Amino acid sequence: MDRRSELRDFLRSRRARLSPAEVGLPTYGERRRVPGLRREEVASLAGTGAEYYVRLEQGRNDRVSPGVLDAVARVLRLAPLERTHLHRLARPARQRAARPCPDSAAPGMCELLDSLPSLPACVIGRRTELLAWNRPARLLFGEVFSPEPGARHMVRQVFVHPAARGLLRDWELTARLLTGRLRLSFGRCPDDPELLALIEALSAASAEFRRVWSEQHLAMRSHGSYRITHPAFGAFTLPYRALSLPDEPDQLLVVHSVAPGSELAAALGGPAGPSKRPPSPESSG
């Protein structure tokens, strides 16, 4: 996997979801071998040459102007998040060097998690790694997710852990959200070796990951909910809020809300233990 192939696949996927009629192009009843817009149609509608657009889609034009990218985004009806992703993939030389990816939660986050004794909360990193979580989160998700080495990446656990589908009633949605976050991270940091290794390992290990990854989802949700079926607590819906951390923009604080006075709130509100931190490199060997 590399930036050029990702750019090509992204633009192809967005061309494929639009029909000529949707953008006002006549087809004269012709049958098309592939769905969606052709490359020369996108080029014409964007006001650029066909060869220029072909070079862009193939990742062979790193000097493409922001104006052309915005025109292509307009033709393909890209959402703001998709437009940003296109700019990152198409103009890598203008990006700053990738920030280091810390192996632990930002300072003070574990103490914050401990101050939420009845609300499941965790900190997630750039590669969907679980950097820290509190006791309620461990009670709810501990069967599938863990901050221990080999099981820290939530996206890996969703696709390979046998209990994931039973716990997550909306497994498909969760899979799309996690792969969507992973894809956005690749757009920001295409030279992150651990991120690339994770994507390649999952592609080799899981046909389901290959399918969902090929669908080109992008996701950065600030709120939503999960439908959970828990072996101890039964079935329930768990709303959440996800907040980016100003000092660590690659990390998310995810806090789930539990209805006050509910049986679940009572079950999760027991004596709080310290939030779980990943073992240090020294202790893990």
CATH topology assigned to domain 3-94? 434 Repressor (Amino-terminal Domain) (1.10.260)
Does pLDDT of 28 surpass 70?
A: no
- Concatenated DSSP letters for 56-105? HHTT--TT--HHHHHHHHHHTT--HHHHHHHHHHH-GGGSPPPPP--SSP
**252 with 114: CB under 8 angstroms?**
no
pLDDT, residue 282, reads 46
Map residue 240 onto helix, strand or coil.
Answer: strand
Q: Is 54 exposed, middle or buried (0-12, 13-18, 19+ CB in 10 A)?
A: middle
- Asked whether the predicted pLDDT for residue 23 surpasses 90, the reply is no
**109-268, CATH topology level:** Beta-Lactamase (3.30.450)
Judge whether 3-94 and 109-268 match in fold.
no
Mean pLDDT is lowest, of 223-227, 241-245, 279-283, for 279-283
pLDDT at 285: 39
| 114-140 residue pLDDT tens | 999 889 999 999 999 999 999 999 999
Prediction pTM value: 0.86
Q: Give the pLDDT of residue 101.
A: 74
Widest Cα–Cα separation across the chain? 70
- Beta bridge partners of residue 281, listed in sequence order: none
The DSSP letter of residue 260 is T
Give the C-alpha separation, 179 to 201, whole Å: 14
In tens, the pLDDT along 162-196 reads 999 999 999 999 999 999 999 999 998 888 899 99
Query: Does residue 284 carry a pLDDT above 50?
Result: no
Q: Where are the domains of the chain?
A: 3-94, 109-268
Looking at residue 215, its pLDDT comes to 94
Interior CA angle at 265 toward 264 and 268, to 5°?
85
Q: What's the pLDDT tens digit per position in 29-50?
A: 667 777 789 999 999 999 999 9
256: left (phi over 0), alpha (psi -120 to 50) or beta: beta
CA geometry: angle at 208 spanning 18 and 233, to 5°?
110
